[in-house]
Amino acid sequence: MNLFSNLRGDLFGGVTAAVVALPLALAFGVASGAGPVAGLYGAIAVGFFAALFGGTPAQVSGPTGPMTVVMTAIVAQYQHDPAMAFAVVSMGGLFQILFGMCGFGRYIIYMPYPVISGFMSGIGIIIMILQIGPLLGHANDGHIIHALAALPEQVSTPVWAALILGLIAFFFMILWPKRLRRIVPPPLAALLAGTILAALILNGAPVLGDVPQGFPVPRMPVFTMTALPEMISAAVMLALLGSVDSLLTSLVADNFTRTQHNSDRELVGQGIGNFVSGLIGGLPGAGATMRTVVNIRAGGRTGLSGATHAAVLLACMIGLGFLVEDIPKALLAGILIKIGWDIIDWGFLKRLWRAGFLKGADRQAEIVMLTVMILTVFVDLIMAVAIGVIIQSLLTARQLATHQIEDVHFIAAGGKSGVRHRLSLEEESIIEQAGGKLLLLRFTGPLSFGTARDLATRMQAAYSGYDRVVIDLTDTRMMDISIMMAMADMIDALTAQGCRIFISGTGNPVYEAMRGHAVLKAVPEENHFIRRMDALKAATISQ
């Protein structure tokens, strides 16, 4: 489908998505601490360039809740020089471009679901906590601990006009009739109604104030060598989060349009958008699920819809900026609190509860999810994801180890082989004739690091008393370096006690990997065979 093949639907979809995006961009800009104009700049830059260069035609991109939370921390860290914060945004875009060019798109979405669920739920909680202050008419500095510490005083001294307006916006987001949602989206309805009420009746609530108008002015990135490591770390976090956020939205778009997105191209497009956004002082963005669904339902199918959405927002910046100056901040807070609530993965929490959440059932998923969520809220976003991935990997390795060890077979005279070991009658006969001096060690499945310790223990107990060992790699599917090192230790121990070792399955890629890591250097070349039968015969002749 070319760019102009669906002109009418794309134009209507883009305009409709822009109507939804405008209040959200303002809200995310205010929430980040960079100001409402930063949210608009981000929506324009990321929305336009991701639409033109991305790999998901119907996707609409812009500032999102998760990206805003990360940016809030970055803005707070570099409040002494905001240009450094926007340099991080551009650097994050460059990392996304690199991810796409290196073909990482297909791998990023492989992150374990409990980690994603815990992280996104933590983001939702952060958004809600940080917006309680503005809902009550007070400012916050973007730090979750500071926001929690200030809550008692803020709750005891609310600005009543702000609180009423914020609650109105919140209930508009919940109760706005479905039949009207396609005509006027809930966030826009909340802004219109709330702003009119603030002007006529509920005076005194803090408002956005002056919003710069005109075209964005490019600025050169600013950084120092001492701050560069921290900036790179923050940029990588933005890139990873933006990539996951965008590709998950791409999957949603695929389901609606019955198409297939290009993950790597999508990362390049998102990266270009974020790079430009940083240069003009905009927030980082990603594929936005709600705006994408609105666009598709309104008829958008190509990148023209996303570009149109950005053009409409730019028009608002050029001539209509004065219309948003009197919007109360509490309205945006009420909208964001509902968005934060929706980001929390309630569906996964319900499934965990039904499956025995904290009631004695297998608790691995909830442990990972809750750990990541708590770390996300109270410690650090990067640390939360890293620790979550590590915990999930270790738990998965432990589960796999119990199954993988069953694919390791020790076969000797008097043992039961049969169908399980897939040996021919002649092979079984050779082993029996060896009189208990020949051991066949077969690997018939994948082996990873979680199995290494158990395998080493079993091998040490199994090979004692044999003077010939045949290691069969014919049906080995995968063997990681931890298993190879355990094999190397076993071969060294066998060689030291005078045992002769034979290898079969030299046509297997695992064999080549073992040779590359010098695992088989102690085994003479004449003892390497393609067929298991030949290795068994050679072991018998050598007695």
Judge residue 94's burial from the number of C-beta atoms within 10 Å of its C-beta, 0-12 exposed, 13-18 middle, 19 or more buried: middle
What tens digit of pLDDT does each residue of 442-483 get?
888 777 777 767 777 777 666 667 888 888 888 888 888 888
Which position has the token pair 């929305």? 47
Interval 491-517 mean pLDDT: 86
Q: Bridge-partner residues for 412, per DSSP?
A: 439
- Please answer whether residues 165 and 337 qualify as being in contact, where contact means their C-beta atoms are separated by less than 8 angstroms: no
Whole-angstrom Cα distance, residue 285 to residue 303? Answer: 16
Q: Give the phi and the psi of residue 346 in degrees, each rounded to 5.
A: -65, -35
Using CB atoms within 10 Å of the CB of residue 407, give its burial: 0 to 12 exposed, 13 to 18 middle, 19+ buried.
middle
What string of DSSP letters covers 269-295? HHHHHHHHHHHTT----EE-HHHHHHH
Entry pTM: 0.70
- Specify the higher pLDDT residue, 211 or 541: 541
List b or e across 491-521, with b for residues whose CB sees 16 or more CB atoms inside 10 angstroms.
Answer: beebeeeebbbbbbbbebebbebbeeeebbe
Task: Evaluate if residue 100 carries a pLDDT over 90.
Answer: yes
Helices (H), 102-227: 105-108, 113-135, 144-156, 160-175, 178-181, 186-200
- For residues 331 and 452, the model is more confident at 331
Sequence-separated contacts (24+) of 397-401 with Cβ below 8 Å = 397/448, 397/449, 397/450, 398/450, 400/448, 400/450, 400/451, 401/448, 401/450, 401/451, 401/454
Confidence of residue 286 (pLDDT cuts 50, 70, 90): very high
Q: Does position 95 have pLDDT exceeding 90, yes or no?
A: yes
Predicted confidence band at 141 (pLDDT cuts at 50, 70, 90)?
Answer: low
pLDDT of residue 415: 53
Return the SS3 of 456: helix
Average pLDDT over residues 64-92: 89
How crowded is residue 223: how many other Cβ atoms within 10 Å of its Cβ? 18
Query: β-strand 61-62 against 286-287: which pairing, if any?
Result: antiparallel
Say what the pLDDT of residue 283 is: 94
In the block, which residue shows the tokens 């790079």?
A: 275
Residues composing the chain: 543
What tokens were used for 292? 């994408």
User: What pLDDT is stored for residue 189 in this prediction?
Assistant: 83
| The pLDDT value given to residue 2 | 57
Query: Which residues touch 259 (CB under 8 Å, ≥6 apart)?
Result: 57, 58, 253
Crossing angle for the helix pair 82-101 and 65-77, to the nearest 10 degrees: 130
For all residues of the chain together, what is the average pLDDT? 82
Alpha-carbon Rg for the chain in angstroms: 30
pLDDT of residue 30: 84
Whether 421 has a pLDDT exceeding 60, the answer reads: no
By DSSP bridging, strand 468-472 and strand 446-447 are unpaired
* Per-residue pLDDT, 359: 53
Do the beta carbons of residue 473 and residue 504 sit within 8 Å? yes
Q: Please answer whether residues 26 and 324 qualify as being in contact, where contact means their C-beta atoms are separated by less than 8 angstroms.
A: yes
pLDDT digits (tens, 9 = 90+) for 169-224: 898 888 888 888 777 778 778 888 888 888 888 888 888 776 666 677 788 888 88
Asked whether the predicted pLDDT for residue 299 surpasses 80, the reply is no
Q: Which two tokens stand for residue 82?
A: 């905001």
The top-scoring range by mean pLDDT among 112-116, 230-234, 496-500 is: 230-234
Q: How far apart are CA 67 and CA 272, in angstroms?
A: 16
Q: What is the pLDDT of residues 398-414, one digit of tens each?
A: 777 666 677 777 777 65
Is the CA virtual torsion 76, 78, 83, 88 positive or negative?
negative
Distance between alpha carbon 307 and the CA centroid of its chain, in Å? 26
pLDDT at 321: 62
* pLDDT score recorded for residue 268: 95
Instruction: Determine the angle formed by the axes of helices 364-378 and 113-135, rounding to 10 degrees.
Output: 40
Alpha-carbon span 169 to 323, nearest angstrom: 18
Q: Name the residue ranges covered by the structural domains of the chain.
A: 7-343, 346-397, 403-541
Instruction: Assign 89 a pLDDT band (cuts: 50, 70, 90).
Output: very high
- 178 CB-near residues (< 8 Å, 6+ apart): none
Expressed in angstroms, the distance from the first to the final Cα of the chain is 71
| Alpha-carbon span 460 to 216, nearest angstrom | 69
369 three-state secondary structure: helix
What token pair was written down for 397?
Answer: 């390795």
- What is the CATH topology of the domain spanning 403-541? Transcription Regulator spoIIAA (3.30.750)
